[in-house]
Structure 1
Amino acid sequence: MNFTSPFSLALGTILALSLLGVPVGHAMIGGSVLYLYVKGMDLGTVAEQLLNGTYQSFLLLAIPLFILAATIMSSGSVLDRLMRFCNAIVGRFPGGLAQVNVLQSIVFASMSGSALADAAGSGKLMQVMMTKDGRYTRGFAAALTAASSVIGPILPPSIPLVLYALVSGTSVGYLFIAGVLPGLLLGGVLMGLIYFLAKRRRFPVEDKVPLREMPRITREAFPALMLPVVLLGCLYTGITTPTEAAGLAAAYALLISVVLYRSIGWGDIYESLISSARVSISIGMLIAGALVFNYVITVENIPATLSTLLKALDLSPLGFLLLVNLLLLLLGCFLEGSTIILVILPVLLPTAVALGVDPVHFGVVAVLNIMIGLVTPPYGLLLFMMTKIADISLTELVREMVPFLAVMAGALALVTLWPDMVLFLPRLAGYSG
C-alpha cells in the first residue's frame, strides 16, 4: 500500500481527526475533501452529484421523526405505564425484575429504534429499580441492561435498518418486518438465560399483580402499545410511505401524551423538539460525512476490487456471511454502528448480492452483528455508557456480560444459518426474495 497516495492521506486524516476528538462525520468530511483536493477534482461538481443523489432521499426524513416520537413517548408518564404492564406480565417469574428489563426493551423498541436511547432512557430507570435494596448487583443489572438494549434496533422502527435501506435501496417496510422474529428470538434467549441464572443465583421474584388489576394496567398501557401496530399497519397496507409513517408515529406519540395521558406540557414538548434536533443533527452530519467518503471509495473502485478478491477465495454464501460476521463484530467493538452501516456495508453489499445472499437477510444479519458489537469488550460503546450509568468498573461489567454474549452469539448464528426465519414474514407480506 502506498502511504503517500491520496486515499492513504484521506484515511490518515480521518483517523488523526477522530483521535483528536473531532466527531466522526466531520473527520470523514475533512479527509474526503483532502482526497478530492490532492486528486485535483472539482469540489463543486462532487457536491452537486451528492446533493442530486442519495442525500436528496425523502427516506432521511424518517430518522428525525422516529427520534421525535421516541423522545415524546419517553418524556411523560408513558414509560411508567409500560413498566407497570411489563411487571404485571413477567414480574412473577424467577428473576422477575430482570425479566421486566428485557420485556420493556422489547416494548420500548417500538418507540426508540436505538440501543443507546434505550439504555439511556428506560435502561437507566431499570438500573435504579434493579439495584434498589440490593436485590441485584450493579454489575449484573448493568450487563443485562446493555444486552437488552440491543433488541431495540432489531425490532421496528429501527434507525439502523433505515440507514441500511438508504445505502442499499432495500424496502424499509420489508426490513422492518424482517427484524421482528430475530428481535423476539434475541429477547427470548435473554429471558431464558435469566430464568436459568435466577434459579442458580436465587434472584428475587416480584409480587404477583392481582388478576383484577390486569384490565386497568393493560388499559392504561394500551395506547402506547398500539404505536407499532399503527406504524406497521400503515406501512404494509400501503396507506403511507416510510417517511409518512414516521411522521404519523410522531403525531400519534404527541396525541396520546398530550390528549390521552395529559402527561406533558408545552415546556416538555419544546425540550423534546430540542433534544430530537440535537440527535438528528449529529446523525445528519454522520450521514453527510459518510456519503462524501463513499464517493471517495467509489472513485478508488474499492467495492469492485473487494468483490473480485472475495470471489477469488471461492466462498459459499454461508462462508461469506460467517466472514462478514467476524468482520462486523470486530468493527462493532471500535466504531459507531451508523458509521459501519454507511461506510462498510456499501462495500460488502455488491459481493453479497453476487453470491446470492438476499439483501434483506444480509441487512438484518449485519445490523444484529453491529448491535452485538456495542456490548462486546474491550471497546463496545454500550459498555462504556453503562459503566457511567451504573458507576462500576469495566472489569466488573465485562465479567457479568460473558453469559449474555454467549446466548446472543447463539441467536446470531441461528439468524445467519436460517435465512427463512428472517424472510418468513416479509414473504407473507409480498416480498419475492
Structure 2
Amino acid sequence: MNLTSPFSISIFVITGLAFLGLPIGLSMMTGSVLYLFLVGADMGTVAEQFLNGMYSNYVILSVPLFILAAEFMNIGSMTERLLAFCNVLVGRFRGGLAQVNVVQSIIFAGMSGSAVADAAGSGRMMQNMMTRDDRYPASYAAALTAVTSVIGPIIPPSIPMIVYALVSDASIGYLFLAGMVPGLLMAGLQMVQVAYDARRRNFPVEAPVPLKEIPRITWRAFPALMMPVLLLGCIYSGVTTPTEAAALAAAYALLVSVVIYRSISWGAFYDSLLLSAKSSTSIGMLIAGALVFNYVVTIENIPDGLRVLLTGWELTPTTFLILVNIVLLLLGCVLEGTAILLIIVPVFIPTAQALGIDMVHFGVVVVINIMLGLVTPPYGLLLFIMTNISGVPVRHIIRDALPFIGGMFLCLILITFIPDLVLWLPRLMGYQG
C-alpha cells in the first residue's frame, strides 16, 4: 500500500485523531472528508451519504428505542422484582446468589439488547447483594456481573445484531432467533463454572424462599416477565417489525413502571430520557461516521480487493471463519464493538458470501467475538464499568473473570464449527439458509 496515497493519509488521520481522544465517529468523518478533498470529489458527498444512510434505514430507529426501554426498566422497580423472582428459581443452591446473577442476565437479555445497559442496570444491585455481609469477594461479584452481561446482546433482542443487519442485509428476525441457542449455551457454561466455584470456594447457601411466598413474588414480577414474551411474540408472529417492537418495548416498560408499579418520579423520567438521548447520540455519530467512511472504502474497492486476495489463498469456509475469529478477537481487545461492526465486518462480508457462508451464522459468530471483546483486556468496557461500580482494581476482576472467558471461548468454538447450533431454530421457523 502506498503510504502517501489519499486513502493511507485518511487512515493515518482517523487513527491519530482517535488516539488523541476524538470520538471515533468524528474521527472517521474528518478522515473521510480529507480523503474526498484529496481526490477532488464533491464535498457534498459526505452529507449525501450520511442522510441516505441514516434516513433510508428504518431499522436504525430501533437502537434508541431499545436503549430507552432499558432506561425505563432501570428507574422503575422492574429490576428488583425480577431479581427476587430469580432468587426463587436458583437462590437456594450453594452459590445461589451467583446463580441468580446468571439467570437475571438471561431474563434481562429479552428486554434491553445491550450488555452495557444490563451491567449498569442490574450490576450495582447484584454487586451490593453479593458483597453484603462479605458473602462473596467483591472482585468475584464484579467479574461475574461483567461476564453475564454479555448474554444480553446474544439472546434477542440485540442491538449489535441490529447493527450487523444494517451492514449485511441479513434478516433481523432470523438473527434474533439464531442467537437464542448460543446465548443459552453460554449461560449454561457460566452456571456450571459458578457451581464449580461455589464448591471449591465454599460460597454460602442462601435461606430458601418459603413456599407461601413464591406465588406472591412471582405475581409481583409477572408484568416484567411478560415484556420479552410480548416483544418477541410480536416480532415472530408478524404483528410488528423489530423497530415497531422496540417502540412497543419502551412503551410497555414505561406503562408497567408508572401504572402498575408506580415507581417512577418526574425527575427519574427526565433523567432516563436524557441518558437515552446521550447514548443514542453517541451511537448515531458512530454510525454516521461509519457510513461516510464505508463510502470511501467502497471507492477504494477494498472489500473486493480483500475478497480476491483471500480467494487467492484458497481458504475454505472453516479456515476463513478461524481467520475472522482471530482478527476480531485481537481487534476487540483495543476497539469498541460497534466500530468493529461498522468498519471491519463489512470488509469481510463479500468474502464470506463468496465462500457460501450463511450470513445469519456469520452474524452470530461476529457478535459473540465482539461480546468477548467487552470483557477482554486491555479495553474491556464491561470490566471498567464494574471497576467503577465495585471500586475493585481491574486486575482483580480480570483474574476472577478468566475462567468464565474460557467458557465463552469454548462457546465461540462450538458455534463456529457447528453451524447447526446457530441455524437450527431459524430453520425451524422457516429460514431457508
User: Aligned residue for 2:374?
Assistant: 374
Deviation at 1:267, TM superposition (A): 2.7
Is the CA contact 2:53–2:291 (under 8 Å) kept in the aligned structure 1? no
Is the CA contact 1:71–1:272 (under 8 Å) kept in the aligned structure 2? yes
State the alpha-carbon separation in 2 of the partners of residues 304 and 270 from structure 1.
47
Q: Which moved more, 1:386-395 or 1:250-259?
A: 386-395
State the alpha-carbon separation in 2 of the partners of residues 214 and 271 from structure 1.
34
State the alpha-carbon separation in 2 of the partners of residues 377 and 50 from structure 1.
33
Unaligned runs of 5+ in 2: none
Structure 1 pair 54/426, CA: closer, same or farther in 2 (3 Å)?
A: farther
State the alpha-carbon separation in 2 of the partners of residues 315 and 294 from structure 1.
25
Percent of aligned pairs with the same residue? Answer: 63
User: Aligned residue for 2:93?
Assistant: 93
Q: TM (normalized to structure 2)?
A: 0.97
State the alpha-carbon separation in 2 of the partners of residues 222 and 293 from structure 1.
46
User: Aligned residue for 1:48?
Assistant: 48
Q: Which moved more, 1:266-275 or 1:6-15?
A: 266-275
User: Aligned residue for 2:343?
Assistant: 343
Is the CA contact 2:54–2:288 (under 8 Å) kept in the aligned structure 1? no
SS in 2 for 1:52: helix
Deviation at 1:379, TM superposition (A): 2.4
Deviations 1:31-76 (A, max 9, x none): 1111111111102134324423464211111111111111101111
User: Aligned residue for 1:216?
Assistant: 216
State the alpha-carbon separation in 2 of the partners of residues 288 and 256 from structure 1.
34
Deviation at 1:227, TM superposition (A): 1.1
1:30 aligns with 2:30: yes
State the alpha-carbon separation in 2 of the partners of residues 172 and 256 from structure 1.
27
Amino acid of the residue matched to residue 167 of structure 1? Answer: V
Q: Which moved more, 1:360-369 or 1:252-261?
A: 252-261
Is the CA contact 1:25–1:289 (under 8 Å) kept in the aligned structure 2? yes
What is the aligned length? 433
Structure 1 residues 239-278: aligned runs within 5 Å: 239-278=239-278
1:353 aligns with 2:353: yes
State the alpha-carbon separation in 2 of the partners of residues 398 and 250 from structure 1.
34
State the alpha-carbon separation in 2 of the partners of residues 112 and 241 from structure 1.
16
User: Aligned residue for 1:307?
Assistant: 307
User: Aligned residue for 1:233?
Assistant: 233
Q: Which moved more, 1:263-272 or 1:306-315?
A: 263-272
Structure 1 pair 339/159, CA: closer, same or farther in 2 (3 Å)?
A: same
User: Aligned residue for 1:292?
Assistant: 292
SS in 2 for 1:203: coil
Structure 1 pair 55/323, CA: closer, same or farther in 2 (3 Å)?
A: farther
Is the CA contact 1:10–1:31 (under 8 Å) kept in the aligned structure 2? yes
Is the CA contact 1:143–1:400 (under 8 Å) kept in the aligned structure 2? yes
State the alpha-carbon separation in 1 of the partners of residues 276 and 45 from structure 2.
32
State the alpha-carbon separation in 1 of the partners of residues 407 and 315 from structure 2.
27
Deviations 1:188-226 (A, max 9, x none): 100000001111110111111112211111111111111
User: Aligned residue for 1:80?
Assistant: 80
State the alpha-carbon separation in 1 of the partners of residues 373 and 48 from structure 2.
35
User: Aligned residue for 2:14?
Assistant: 14
Is the CA contact 2:49–2:292 (under 8 Å) kept in the aligned structure 1? no
User: Aligned residue for 2:144?
Assistant: 144
Deviation at 1:412, TM superposition (A): 1.0
State the alpha-carbon separation in 1 of the partners of residues 96 and 49 from structure 2.
55
Deviation at 1:137, TM superposition (A): 1.1
Q: Which moved more, 1:356-365 or 1:37-46?
A: 37-46
Is the CA contact 1:55–1:288 (under 8 Å) kept in the aligned structure 2? no
SS in 2 for 1:226: helix
State the alpha-carbon separation in 1 of the partners of residues 161 and 289 from structure 2.
19
Structure 1 residues 412-431: aligned runs within 5 Å: 412-431=412-431
1:64 aligns with 2:64: yes
Amino acid of the residue matched to residue 263 of structure 1? Answer: S
Deviation at 1:86, TM superposition (A): 0.6
State the alpha-carbon separation in 2 of the partners of residues 402 and 265 from structure 1.
40
Is the CA contact 1:96–1:206 (under 8 Å) kept in the aligned structure 2? yes
Amino acid of the residue matched to residue 381 of structure 2? Answer: L
Deviation at 1:343, TM superposition (A): 0.8
Is the CA contact 1:86–1:103 (under 8 Å) kept in the aligned structure 2? yes
User: Aligned residue for 2:325?
Assistant: 325
SS in 2 for 1:163: helix
